[in-house]
Structure 1
Amino acid sequence: MAVFQSGLLVLTTPLASLAPRLAPILTSAARLVNHTLYVHLQPGMSLEGPAQPQSSPVQATFEVLDFIAHLYAGANFHRHLDVRILLTNIQTKSAFLPPLSSSVQNLAHPPEVVLTDFQTLDGSKLLPELLQPYAERVEHLSEFLVDIKPSLTFDVIPLLDPYGPAGSDPSLEFLVVSEETYRGGMAANRFRLENDLEELALYQIQLVKDESHEQHEEEKVSSSNSRQRLLGKLLRPPNKRPELPSGLYVIGLTGISGSGKSSIAQRLKGLGAFVIDSDHLGHRAYAPSGPAYQPVVEAFGTDILHKDGIINRKILGSRVFGNKKQMKILTDIVWPVIAKLAREEMDLAVAEGKDVCVIDAAMLLEAGWQNMVHEVWTVVIPETEAVRRIVERDGLSEAAAQSRLQSQMSGQQLVDQSHVVLSTLWEPHVTQLQVEKAWNLLQKRIAKTPQAHD
C-alpha cells in the first residue's frame, strides 16, 4: 500500500541502459506514491559523493523525446499515478534560446518523498534470495540482546514504512544511526516535526571495517558480504540418489533467463564436469526422427511444421505461451522424453570415466528433474539485470523480456529448493573464482560419499 501522496523520482542512469530498468522502477515508485509522481530526468548525475547534487541542462535530443514518450507509456500500467515529467532542465538545441544558468522547478505541491533509480553494486539488497528469514533474524537478535544484558527490555518491530516507529512513536527519545544512515535519521526528524512530534536525538556509531573483504565486497562488516560468502557453499544436505549410475555425481544447474547459467556450465566443463545441455536434448527430441516429434505433431497439428517437415518452434511457442492448458499438453510430452535422453547421457558420462555430471536446464525444477540429481545449483542475478541482458542478447523488447521471466519460477523460488547458489553479477574473473570454490568444495563432498568408493 502506497504511503505518500506525492513523490519526486530522479532518474540518473544513462538513457541507453535506463529503458530496460524503467518498468521495475515505476513499479517500485507506485508502491510508495499513490497520486502524483514528478519525474526529473538527469542522466549521468552522480549521487555517490557527500555534496548536494546539482541539476544540469539536458538537450532535447530525439533519444530524450523518445524516452519521455516511453516513460509515459510505461506509466499507463499504474493508473493511480498522475505522472508529470519536469521539463525545466530539458532544453531545445535552438541557437536562439540561450541556456539557463540556473533552473528552479516551482512545484504547486512539493513532493513528500524523493526516489531515485540510483543503484550501488547491490541495487537495494545484494543477493536478496539469500536473506535470512525475518523470524530467524528476530530470534537471533533477541538471543544476542539477552546474552549481553539479561535485564534489557526491548521490542523488535518490523518496518512497514520508510520511517517505522522513528517517525510516529511519541515515546521515543533518541535514534541510533550509522555514518550511512545519518541522513535517514534527519529525514525521520523532519517527518516527526511535520507531524507535531519532538525531534529525536541522533546517536551516531562508527561502522566496523572488514579487514578481510575482497575487492568486490564492501569495506565494512555487513550482511551483504556474508551473503556473498555463501555463494558456492552447500546450503542443505545433498539428495541420496541410489538409482543413479554408480560413481557418478549429478548436479542440476538452473537459473532464470539471462542469469548466466550456461556460462557457469561451461566453466564447470572446463574444470572436468560432463555437461548435459537440456536445450540440445530438446532439439533432438523435436527432430523428425526424435521421440517427441510424432506426439507433438499429433497434438498440435501439421500447421506447426516448416515446409521441410521440421517443427517450427516459434509457431509452436506462440501456440502454448500464455496458455496453461496447451503448455501442459506440450510439457507432458516433451519433458519425460528429455529426461530419458538425459539419463542416456549420464551413461555416456560414466563410459567416459567422468565422476561429475551437470544437467544445464532452465526448467529443471518445473519439470521435476530434481529427482534425478544429487544437488540443485542455482544461478541468481537481479531481475533488472536479467531484463537488460535478455534485451541485449535476444533483441527482445523490455516487455517481452519481463514476460519471459514472469513465465518462469522466480530466483527466490529456485533458491528455496537449491543446495548451492552462484551469481554472475560481478566481473568474469570473480565468477571464475566462485565456480572454482564451488567445484573444490564439491570434490571434498564427493570424496566422502559411499558411492565414490564403489
Structure 2
Amino acid sequence: MYKIGLTGGIACGKTTICSFLQEFSASIIDTDKIAHELACPENSLWQAYYAHFGEKILLNDKTLNRRLIGNIVFSNSTEKNWLNKTSHPLILAEVKKRITRLTDLGIKIVILDVPLLYEIGWDRFVDETWVVYVDKKTQLNRLRQRNSYTFAEARHRIQSQMPLSRKIKYADKVINTGNPLLINKKNTYKLWTALQQKLEKINEQQ
C-alpha cells in the first residue's frame, strides 16, 4: 500500500482537492470525518471530551459544542495539548483499521487526509506528502466566509497551525488552489496520473 499524506492550511482548499481525487477513483481516508464520527454522543472521543470539560461543552441534544471547544483549545496551549494527546491515538487506530481493509480489497494507493500531518508527526507513516496552499489573504477570507468567524477567530485558528511556508518546504508535491477551479482540477489530475504511472513502472521493474 502506497500512502500519500495530504495536508495544508485551514481553508486552503484541501476538501476540494479531495473531491477531485475521488472523481479520479482515489481511495481517501479523511481523518476529520473519523474524528467527527468518534465525537458523536457516547463514542470514544465524546466520552473523553465530556469527562474532561464537563456539561458546558454539550448542546441540548447532547452533541458537542464544537465552536466552544475550538475557542477553548485555541486559546489555551495546555488544553490544546490535552486534546491532541487524547484524540490522535484514537484516530490513528481507526486509520490503521481502514488501511488494512483497503489493502485486503487490493487497493494499491491511499490518500490520508490529515490537516495536522506534520504537526503530529504522521508524515512518518506515509510514503510522500502533498501540501495544499493559498495566499494568506485568500485563506483568511475563505475561513471567515466558510465558518462565519470573526476576524480574530479566523486569524487565531490560522496562527495556531504550522506556517504554510514550512509545510511547503517539507512537501514532496504542492498544490496552489489560488487558481480557477478547472485549473486546480487539471493540476490535481496531473499529480494523480503521474503517481500512478510511477508506481506502475516500479512494479514492472520488480
Q: Same fold (TM over 0.5)?
A: yes
Match of 2:119 in 1: 366
CA contact (8 A) 2:74 2:157 kept: no
Q: Where do residues 90-239 of structure 1 align in structure 2 (5 Å cutoff)?
A: none
Counterpart in 1 of 2:180? Answer: 427
In structure 1, how many angstroms separate the alpha carbons of the residues matched to 2:111 and 2:33?
14
What is the 5 A alignment of 1:42-53? none
Contact kept? 1:250, 1:358, Cα under 8 Å = yes
Give 2:198's aligned residue: 445
Aligned equivalent of 1:278: 31
Report if the CA contact (8 A) 1:304-1:312 is conserved.
yes
The answer (yes or no) to whether the contact 1:253–1:359 under 8 Å persists in 2 is yes
1-structure distance, mates of 2:190, 2:23: 14
The CA distance in 1 between the partners of 2:205 and 2:40, in whole Å, is 37
| Inter-partner Cα distance in structure 2 for 1:314 and 1:393 | 13
Matched, 1:311 2:45: no
Q: Could you tell me how far 1:283 is from its partner in structure 2?
A: 0.9
The Cα of 1:394 is off from its aligned counterpart by 2.3
1:337 aligns with 2:90: yes
Cα pair distance change 1:293/1:397, threshold 3 Å = closer
Alignment of 1:264 with 2:17, yes or no, is yes
The structure with the greater share of residues assigned to helix is 2
Amino acid at match of 2:29: I
Please list every run of 5 or more consecutive structure 1 residues that lacks an aligned counterpart in the other structure: 1-247
**RMSD between aligned residues:** 2.0
How many pairs are equivalent? 206
Conservation of the 8 A alpha-carbon contact between 1:254 and 1:363: yes
- Asked if the contact 1:286/1:292 (under 8 Å) is kept, the reply is yes
Q: Give the whole-Å Cα distance in 1 for the aligned partners of 2:105 and 2:11.
A: 31
Q: What's 1:101 paired with?
A: none
Higher Cα radius of gyration: 1
Equivalent residue, structure 2, for 1:296: 49
Deviations 1:55-87 (A, max 9, x none): xxxxxxxxxxxxxxxxxxxxxxxxxxxxxxxxx
Counterpart amino acid of residue 175 in structure 2: L
Secondary structure of the equivalent of 2:175?
A: strand
Aligned partner of 1:357: which letter?
Answer: V
- Higher relative CO (CA 8 A, sep ≥ 6), structure 1 or 2? 2
Show CA shifts across 1:372-400 (max 9, x none). Answer: 21111001111011112222222223332
Q: CA deviation at 1:258?
A: 1.7
| Kept after mapping to 1: 8 A contact 2:131/2:174 | yes
Question: Is contact 1:273–1:354 with CA below 8 Å preserved after alignment?
Answer: no
Label 1:354 to 1:452 Cα distance change in 2 as closer, same or farther (>3 A).
farther
Q: Distance in 1 between matches of 2:193 and 2:139?
A: 28
| TM-score for the superposition, normalised by structure 2 | 0.91
Q: Distance in 2 between matches of 1:405 and 1:298?
A: 28
How many Å separate the matches in 2 of 1:423 and 1:274?
22
**Percent pairwise identity:** 28
